């Protein structure tokens, strides 16, 4: 009798627990993911525009996506270059180099250099981009031009915003993106048992062999995680590009997410923007699922197996 009551009690308790612990997350997911997606889908089947009046339900927006919008292929190509360029050069590679070098040198100076690379992430986006605008200003006062003209003897100032806009958006985003990889990789490197490095040294491994055989294998999961996480965030965010180049010149630096924004809010084609956004949502979910499957993200999120040393 007593035992049975205990069971009933614990079942209620379990239900209560799941409501208490999962409730807030579920509410947030519904409010900020499910509901907006439904609204987005609904809007994408209308001709909603600046007038904010729906005159008909239509699949016209999707026809536009697949048939008539000729700018879209250029936007998608640029998005590829932007996402993979930023990821490969900065968020993973440069983050790795920063983590490996700053953990190899003395603790104090290592922390200092990591701190320096964290600064851009901590400063407000507008301020950060203002600095960039000053650095690449096409006049003689711009930092880059000052260096080029006074140190390297260049004759006339360069207009990088016009001549190399894609490189600029990759570099400006990369300088910020590298810090996340750096932090995660640093933590992972710190987690490698010190005796492994000692063993490798005694076994004859030099610096590069140690990185290749000890450090990098231990970073497999963190690298997967950073790759997926940053792919998603690069795909959907465009604030730095909007502030730095406004997507220009013309559409030269308009990545997909910014294209959605420009279509919806600059041209006032809300219905078309919604249809475009839906693809972004689908890609986001697919990439997240791929990550879950192929990169062992599931194991990353499992409870840690403590190494007995």
Asked if 211 is part of the footprint of another protein (rule: CB under 8 A), the reply reads: no
Length of the chain counted residue by residue: 309
For residue 205, state whether it binds another protein (rule: CB under 8 A).
yes
CB of 220 to another protein, least distance (A): 8
Rounded to whole angstroms, how far apart are CA atoms 74 and 92? Answer: 26
Tell which one of 201, 281, 283, 300 touches another protein (CB under 8 A).
201
- Among the listed ranges 14-22, 92-100, 140-148, 197-205, the one in contact with another protein (CB under 8 A) is 197-205
Choose, by CB under 8 A, the member of 195, 301, 304, 306 that binds another protein: 195
Q: Which residue among 196, 211, 236, 287 contacts another protein (CB under 8 A)?
A: 196
- Report the alpha-carbon distance of residue 295 to residue 274 in Å, rounded: 31
| Part in contact with another protein (CB under 8 A); list of ranges 93-101, 158-166, 179-187, 214-222 | 214-222
CB of 66 to another protein, least distance (A): 45
In the chain, beta strands by DSSP E: none
Q: Work out the angle between the directed axes of helices 220-236 and 72-85 (0-180°, nearest 10).
A: 150
Q: What are phi and psi of 189, to 5 degrees?
A: -65, -40
299 is a contact residue toward another protein (CB under 8 A): no
Euclidean distance between CA atoms 119 and 177, whole angstroms: 12
Nearer to another protein, 197 or 251 (CB): 197
Answer for which of 84, 213, 265, 294 binds another protein (CB under 8 A) is 213
CB-based contacts of 259: which residues, under 8 Å, 6+ apart?
Answer: 71, 72, 75, 247, 251, 276
The closest alpha carbon to 280, from 75, 6, 35, 29, belongs to 75
What's the gap between Cα 35 and its chain centre? 23
From the list 55-63, 151-159, 211-219, 233-241, the region that binds another protein by CB under 8 A is: 211-219
Nearer to another protein, 83 or 189 (CB): 189
Does the footprint of another protein cover residue 104 (CB under 8 A)?
A: no
d(CA 100, CA 199): 18
What six digits make up the tokens of 169? 């958006």
Which residue ranges make up the site for another protein (CB under 8 A)?
Answer: 193, 195-196, 198-206, 209, 213-214, 217-218, 220, 309
């Amino acid at each position: 009798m007593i035992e049975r009551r205990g069971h009933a009690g614990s079942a209620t308790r379990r239900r209560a627990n799941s409501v208490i612990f999962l409730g807030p997350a579920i509410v947030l997911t519904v409010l900020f993911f499910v509901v907006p997606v439904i609204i987005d889908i609904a809007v994408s089947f209308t001709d909603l525009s600046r007038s904010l009046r729906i005159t008909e339900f239509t699949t016209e927006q999707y026809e536009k996506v697949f048939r008539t919008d000729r700018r879209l292929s250029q936007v998608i190509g640029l998005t590829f270059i932007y996402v993979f360029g930023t990821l490969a050069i900065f968020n993973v590679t440069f983050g790795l180099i920063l983590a490996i070098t700053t953990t190899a040198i003395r603790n104090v100076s290592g922390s200092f250099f990591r701190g320096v690379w964290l600064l851009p992430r901590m400063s407000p986006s507008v301020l950060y981009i203002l600095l960039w605008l000053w650095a690449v200003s096409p006049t003689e006062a711009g930092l880059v031009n000052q260096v080029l003209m006074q140190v390297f003897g260049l004759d006339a100032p360069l207009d990088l915003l016009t001549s190399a806009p894609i490189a600029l958006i990759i570099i400006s985003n990369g300088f910020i993106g590298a810090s996340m990889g750096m932090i995660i990789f640093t933590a992972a490197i710190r987690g490698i048992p010190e005796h492994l490095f000692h063993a490798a040294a005694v076994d004859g491994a030099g610096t590069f062999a140690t990185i290749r055989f000890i450090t990098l294998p231990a970073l497999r999961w963190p690298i997967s995680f950073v790759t997926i996480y940053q792919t998603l965030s690069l795909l959907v965010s465009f604030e730095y590009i909007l502030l730095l180049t406004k997507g220009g010149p013309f559409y030269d630096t308009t990545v997909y997410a910014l294209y959605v924004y420009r279509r919806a809010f600059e041209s006032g084609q809300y219905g078309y923007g919604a249809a475009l956004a839906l693809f972004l949502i689908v890609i986001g979910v697919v990439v997240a699922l791929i990550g879950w499957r192929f990169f062992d993200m599931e194991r990353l999120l499992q409870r840690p197996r403590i190494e007995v040393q």
